[in-house]
Amino acid sequence: MAQAHLTIPFGSSKLIIESGQLAKQANGAVTVTVGGTVVLVTACMASKPKEGQDFFPLTVEYQEKTYSAGKIPGGFFKREGRPTEREVLACRLIDRPIRPLFPEGFLNEVQVVATVLSHDGENDPDILAIIGASAALTISDIPYDGPVGAVRVGLIDGQCVANPTFAQREKSIMDLVVVGWGDGIVMIEGEANEVGEDQVLKGLGFALQALEPSKNIQLELKNKIGKQKTKVELKQPNADFIKKIREMALPRLNEIYTTIADKGNREEALNSLCDQLTTDMDAYAAFEKDGHAISEQGVRDAFESLQYEIIRGNVFTRKLRADGRGLKDIRPIECAVGILPRTHGSSLFTRGQTQSLGIITLGTKDDEQLVEALEGTSYKTFMLHYNFPAFSVGETKPMRSPGRREIGHGALAAKALKAVLPTKDEFPYTVRVVSEILESNGSSSMASVCSGCLALMDAGVPVKAMVAGISVGLISDEKNAVLITDIMGLEDYFGDMDFKVAGSRKGVTAIQLDLKIKKLSMSLLEKAVAQAKEARLIILDKMEATLSQPRSEMSPYAPRIVTIQIPQDKIGEVIGPGGKIIRRMIEESGVTSIDIEEDGKVIVASPDQGALDKAVAMIRGLTEEPEVGKIYDAVVKRIMNFGVFVEFLPGREGLVHVSELASKFVKDVNEVAKLGDKFKVKLVEKDEMGRFNLSKKQAESKV
């Protein structure tokens, strides 16, 4: 097998693509290297389609091997298990841009596998995996109309930076992953800290130029070692059969799509019409080809293609959408907050027939999520989980763990909200947002952004700004390109684009572009960005009319957290030997937790304000330097003939001499003091040996 080794500049480093040495039995295989990060990507194709298959079965897998960073997996089994959230999101980044580049009617199974073999902790493998997937397909014999180029763009000190390292990304206020085909863009995934639309578009224009080398190197690789593309059988529609279905269904189908706006009623009418078409299958016997009978599925496929034609044709010729809206119209919006009595915050956001219930749970440091990644261990204090049950679309399906779609939608909504969250110092809580999709008819991820923001405000989380999201679609052919705002389910299914933008009034916080066509021009993308902003401002008006700012008081069921600072040299005294002191304070005060950080920050949490105050007083007392002349509350710990020893601060004891126990003469200490007695004392002296002398008599005279 021929070998090749090619290099291009990549950020501040260089990118190397090699092929012909590893995984030689795959249809195509490459390794992509930047610095010390190496990703192996393979592409394989089944020799023929499965019998009865009617869709293109593309699967993409992305695996981060822990050995790549010199680590052994945690847990009992000590080997990689189910994909992490990061791996799932990387799979989606690879899948989305390459899927539109396979030929229509291609049904052979294709599997792309990206494996991180080495990781240097500086260069993110995800961009390398996208480039590698396209390169492996490009040099293979698999029918694929690539290559695509990919780049990550940051915005640091007002300047766009191509393929920043992890360290550089920490300084960036924007993170865009952009994939391009030809002279256009095919996929975008990004987040930003309320960056203006003009800056986002500047970043996308910069990306189009910056990704060119990653396309060109693949073309050069193809010229050197590329295989001849295999000629595969493509599923072609039977023109005469389609014509017959058109004659039978077109009049009624046109009527349905121009008179029935409600999704449920429309689907009922469509199902009834389709059932009529499949009642007498013998009527299609004349359209059999090569001995293959027309199946019920074939009728339904033809019926679907007719819907595709009608929906798109109505948009082109009549500027009419299936539910009667204009091209820029947003469906009716309803907002409500505080609808669940015992949660820490809740909201209900409804846009047309898409409805998201947002729920907030506030937790403590103990609730942070441990994230073990190749680049290191970290803790997440903000999580957003998206749930999409079958009942939301009126279906029955098994209840399973979240799939790639749920994880992807949740991650996008989390990006949208993360930019406006307070810092940990401003709000020392762990925050979990859950979006329960109760109804779905398009763009439920953007509904999750809206419900999540309202729920955060209802919970009293001091967000910096209100955030909303909207999706813009595209219906296009060789002559027309029409943008539509707030796409519903069938417009997503039969359309060419799902372009989601979330943000505040100030700017963009999250952006995502998925296409079914091969590319989107910058001029059309600029129009889509402007249309999305126009719609976002309308939604923000609706949300602000419901709740204009975060609540000043949190739910009585939410934990209260107080942060205090103690000297670092006092940390050991608060913790005590083996944690003895801190455990005792938790038990005696009744708080939920006391956490101490390395810099001396102490975080105390409890739903009971009284317990919180008690614990804080104990900590302050434990770390406070005793002050001569100050009055303290004391507890008798030991009784001696010459006086009593009392604890006047946590862990601090001093002597009240018999002469200082009372204003009168005391013959027997036991007559005026017993173990456990509580009274006020005044610190009168700290002697040269560090011992504390106190007076009950002087304290009482001060009262």
Q: pLDDT tens for residues 555-582?
A: 999 999 999 999 888 898 889 888 888 9
Tokens of 480: 């027309």
Q: Is the pLDDT of residue 262 over 80?
A: yes
Tell whether 554 is covered by a domain.
no
Is residue 290 very low, low, confident or very high in pLDDT (cuts 50, 70, 90)? low
Q: What is the pLDDT of residue 203?
A: 97
- Are residue 396 and residue 294 in the same domain, yes or no? no
Residue 587 belongs to domain with CATH number: 3.30.1370.10
User: pLDDT averaged over the chain?
Assistant: 92
Q: Is the pLDDT of residue 287 over 80?
A: no
Comparing C-alpha atoms, which of 40, 39, 57 is closest to residue 48?
A: 57
Q: What is the pLDDT of residue 519?
A: 94
Q: Is the pLDDT of residue 75 over 80?
A: no
Other CB atoms within 10 Å distance of the CB of residue 260: 18
Q: What is the mean pLDDT of residues 234-259?
A: 85
- Are residue 609 and residue 689 in the same domain, yes or no? no
Q: What is the pLDDT of residue 264?
A: 84
- Are residue 33 and residue 180 in the same domain, yes or no? yes
Tracing tokens 């013998």 back to the chain, one arrives at 282
Among candidate residues 193, 225, 257, the one where a domain is terminated: 225
Residue 394 belongs to domain with CATH number: 3.30.230.70
- Are residue 609 and residue 661 in the same domain, yes or no? no
Q: What is the mean pLDDT of residues 506-532?
A: 97
Q: Is the pLDDT of residue 280 over 80?
A: no
Contact 142, 56 (CB under 8 A): no
Residue 681 belongs to domain with CATH number: 2.40.50.140
Residue 45 buriedness (CB in 10 A; 0-12 / 13-18 / 19+): buried
- Are residue 589 and residue 677 in the same domain, yes or no? no
- Are residue 126 and residue 255 in the same domain, yes or no? no
Residue 667 buriedness (CB in 10 A; 0-12 / 13-18 / 19+): exposed
Q: Is the pLDDT of residue 600 over 80?
A: yes
Segment holding 695, helix H or strand E: strand 692-695
Among candidate residues 623, 648, 667, the one where a domain is terminated: 623
Q: Is the pLDDT of residue 703 over 60?
A: no
Whether the bond between 650 and the residue before it is cis, its omega within 30 degrees of 0, is no
> CA-to-CA distance for 583 and 575, rounded, in angstroms?
8
Q: What is the pLDDT of residue 52?
A: 75
Tell whether 324 is covered by a domain.
no
Tell whether 553 is covered by a domain.
no
Q: Is the pLDDT of residue 286 over 80?
A: no
> CA-to-CA distance for 257 and 471, rounded, in angstroms?
22
- In DSSP terms, 289 is beta-bridged to 292
Q: What is the mean pLDDT of residues 381-401?
A: 93
Q: Is the pLDDT of residue 414 over 90?
A: yes
Q: pLDDT tens for residues 94-109?
A: 999 999 999 999 999 9
Q: pLDDT tens for residues 305-320?
A: 899 989 999 999 889 8
Q: What is the pLDDT of residue 292?
A: 65
Q: Is the pLDDT of residue 409 over 80?
A: yes
Among candidate residues 579, 605, 623, the one where a domain is terminated: 623
Tell whether 94 is covered by a domain.
yes
How far are the Cα atoms of 17, 110, 148 from residue 10, in angstroms, in the given order?
12, 29, 16
Tell whether 328 is covered by a domain.
no
Structural domain for 128, as ranges: 4-225
Q: Is the pLDDT of residue 291 over 60?
A: no
DSSP 8-class letter at 49: P
- Are residue 130 and residue 272 in the same domain, yes or no? no
Tell whether 555 is covered by a domain.
no
Q: What is the pLDDT of residue 316?
A: 92
- Are residue 311 and residue 344 in the same domain, yes or no? no
Q: What is the pLDDT of residue 1?
A: 61
What is the full DSSP assignment across 261-328?
Answer: -SHHHHHHHHHHHHHHHTS-GGGGGGG-BTTBPPPHHHHHHHHHHHHHHHHHHHHHHH---TTS--TT
- Number of domain units in the chain: 5
Q: What is the pLDDT of residue 457?
A: 98
Residue 282 belongs to domain with CATH number: 1.10.10
- Are residue 386 and residue 535 in the same domain, yes or no? yes
Q: What is the mean pLDDT of residues 51-61?
A: 89
Q: pLDDT tens for residues 118-150?
A: 999 999 999 999 999 999 999 999 999 999 999
User: How do the residues of the chain divide into helix, strand and coil, expressed in percent and rounded to 5?
Assistant: 35, 30, 35
Percent of the chain with pLDDT over 70: 99
Please state which of the ranges 22-36, 112-126, 624-638 shows the lowest mean pLDDT.
624-638
Q: What is the mean pLDDT of residues 48-64?
A: 90
- Are residue 635 and residue 689 in the same domain, yes or no? yes
Q: Is the pLDDT of residue 702 over 70?
A: no
Tell whether 326 is covered by a domain.
no
Q: What is the mean pLDDT of residues 352-378?
A: 91
Contact 162, 206 (CB under 8 A): yes
Q: What is the pLDDT of residue 390?
A: 94
- Are residue 359 and residue 285 in the same domain, yes or no? no
- Are residue 87 and residue 190 in the same domain, yes or no? yes
Tell whether 493 is covered by a domain.
no
Q: pLDDT tens for residues 207-232?
A: 999 999 999 999 999 999 999 999 99
